Every structure is written in C-alpha cells, then in structure tokens.
Amino acid sequence: MLLHLKNIFKWVNSGGQRVFLLKDINLEVEEGEFISIMGPSGSGKSTLLNLIGMLDGFDEGEYTFLDEPVHTLKEKHRANLYKEYIGFVFQSYHLLDDLTVKENLEMPLLYKKYKGAERKAMVADMLDRFNIVGKKDLFPAQLSGGQQQLVGIARALISSPKLILADEPTGNLNSKQGEEIMELFKQLNNEGVTIIQVTHSEKNAAYGSRIINLLDGRMI
Ligand SMILES: Nc1ncnc2c1ncn2[C@@H]1O[C@H](COP(=O)(O)OP(=O)(O)O)[C@@H](O)[C@H]1O
Ligand SMILES: [Mg+2]
C-alpha cells in the first residue's frame, strides 16, 4: 500500500468552537491508482490533498505513507519523505516569476544530491518530453496558461515522484489544453505513477479509476 489515512480529523478553533475541516477520513491508496476527489466548493478537497501531501497537518488520526507513520515523524524527516516521493501540481501554476522555465524546472533538484551536470541532463529531458525546449529561457509571464501548466507538471515530475497530487490542474486551461493534461496523466499512470487529482469535471474524473466524494469534510 502507498498510503493509509485512518480516522483523520482536522479542525480549527473559531469563537471557542471547533469547526471541522475534515471528519473521520478513512482512505487506503494502492500504488498505481488514479483517484479523483470531487465535491462542492468548501467541502475540504484542497485540505485533504494538502494533508496527503504533508503540507498541512491534522488533529486526530493516523497517516501512514510507505510504512512511515507520518503523524509521528519530525518535520525534517517528513519533508524528506514528501520531497522524495510526492510531486504537486496546483491550479495556479505556482511557478517562480523571476526564474526562467529552465530554472523553475531545476528547483526541486536543488534540494537533492544531484550534481550540476545531472541536473542539467534531467532538465533537458523534461524540456524535451514536454516539447518546451524553445521556451527554456523565457519567464512564466511570457508563456500562455497552458504552457505554464505544462511547466508546472514538468517540474512536479522531474524528480520521478511515486505520487502526483493535482489540485484542479486544468482549472485555468481551455478544454483542449485540459484534455492534453488529462492524457498526460493517463500516460504517467500507465507507467506506474499514482495520481490523486481534485476536479470539478465529470469528464476529467472519468480518467481515473476511483472517485472520492467529499461533503462538509466527510467522505460520502
Ligand atoms: N486554515 C483554515 N482556517 C479556517 N478555515 C479553513 C482553513 N482552511 C480551509 N478552511 C475552510 O475549510 C473549508 C474547506 O476548504 P477547502 O479544503 O479549501 O475546500 P475545497 O478545496 O473543497 O473548495 C472551507 O470552508 C474553508 O473556508
Ligand atoms: Mg480547493
């Protein structure tokens, strides 16, 4: 099993009251799955995705990732875990504006032990694979939304994560660009990468093999 969430609760305190963001989430994900998280705005989809990605914590329950008990790990160990195994794709690209495409792609590798020449080769591979060699010295603002999202995905993939977490990855794209991204996810999934995406689109959800529905922080 890749990951296991057991009786997870997350809340915030507001005016002396607990406001639950996630309630009793139980989820097992096997390697190679392609899961879509759906639900109305405010139902907790992003909160759940960030929790799985270890960007956010939780208040009760247990989270196991590749046999590691995430809930008991020290911050540094936890950061190593997600940097090694998880790639994030966000709706709004999250590219660094003052870095070129090439430099943005290189970012996740700087935290790892690759030598300069290895990093260069990996970036060149990604530019090639995503057909953006000609864009390598441009800044994000000089690209279309679709191209920025491609760079965002390439950056998420560059260190060969086992798990891709994507929060409405086609949200800012036109339907053709969106389809291309979904086809790319399908291909990656066929190569063995596990994917968990948040989506509003039934059509995008159909690319996956399982749908999780959230309502008011609960799986239904
Ligand atoms: N840090 C926070 N403090 C208080 N409320 C939050 C916090 N983060 C998220 N929320 C609330 O939790 C609910 C779920 O948010 P979110 O996970 O972003 O929903 P979704 O992605 O499904 O639209 C929303 O009502 C949001 O306002
Ligand atoms: Mg959201």
- For residue 14, report the distance from its CA to the centre of ligand 1, in Å: 13
20: Cα within 13 Å, side-chain hemisphere: 11
Say if 133 falls within a structural domain.
yes
Helical residues (DSSP H) of 111-143, grouped into ranges: 116-129
For the chain, 220 residues long, give each residue's pLDDT as a single digit of tens: 999 999 999 999 999 999 999 999 999 999 999 999 999 999 999 999 999 999 999 999 999 999 999 999 999 999 999 999 999 998 776 899 999 999 999 998 987 889 999 999 999 999 998 889 999 999 999 998 888 988 998 999 898 899 999 999 988 788 888 898 899 999 999 999 999 999 999 999 999 999 999 999 999 9
Which pLDDT score, from 0 to 100, does residue 145 have?
85
Please state, in angstroms and rounded to a whole number, the distance separating the CA atoms of residues 133 and 136: 5
Say if 19 falls within a structural domain.
no
Please state, in angstroms and rounded to a whole number, the distance separating the CA atoms of residues 203 and 66: 30
Closest to 139 in 3D by CA, of 93, 98, 91, 89 = 98
40 lines ligand 1 (CB under 6 A): no
3-state secondary structure of 178: helix
Ligand 1: residue of 12, 21, 25 to mutate (most ligand atoms within 8 A of CB) is 21
Say if 220 falls within a structural domain.
no
Say if 168 falls within a structural domain.
yes
Say if 66 falls within a structural domain.
no
Which pLDDT score, from 0 to 100, does residue 106 have?
95
Nearest protein CA to atom 2 of ligand 1, as residue: 12
φ and ψ at residue 159, rounded to 5 degrees: -100, 25
Please state, in angstroms and rounded to a whole number, the distance separating the CA atoms of residues 126 and 81: 23
- For residue 39, report the distance from its CA to the centre of ligand 1, in Å: 13
Show the domain range for 97: 32-58+72-212
Output the CA torsion sign for 51, 56, 60, 65: positive
CATH value at residue 88: 3.40.50.300
- For residue 49, report the distance from its CA to the centre of ligand 2, in Å: 9
Please state, in angstroms and rounded to a whole number, the distance separating the CA atoms of residues 65 and 112: 20
Which pLDDT score, from 0 to 100, does residue 90 have?
81
Say if 41 falls within a structural domain.
yes
Ligand 1: residue of 8, 10, 41, 47 to mutate (most ligand atoms within 8 A of CB) is 47
- In the chain the first and final C-alpha atoms are separated, in Å, by 22
Say if 81 falls within a structural domain.
yes
Which pLDDT score, from 0 to 100, does residue 132 have?
92
Please state, in angstroms and rounded to a whole number, the distance separating the CA atoms of residues 215 and 41: 9
| Number of folded domains that form the chain | 1
46 lines ligand 1 (CB under 6 A): yes
Does the pTM exceed 0.85? yes
Which pLDDT score, from 0 to 100, does residue 180 have?
86
Which pLDDT score, from 0 to 100, does residue 26 have?
98
Say if 15 falls within a structural domain.
no
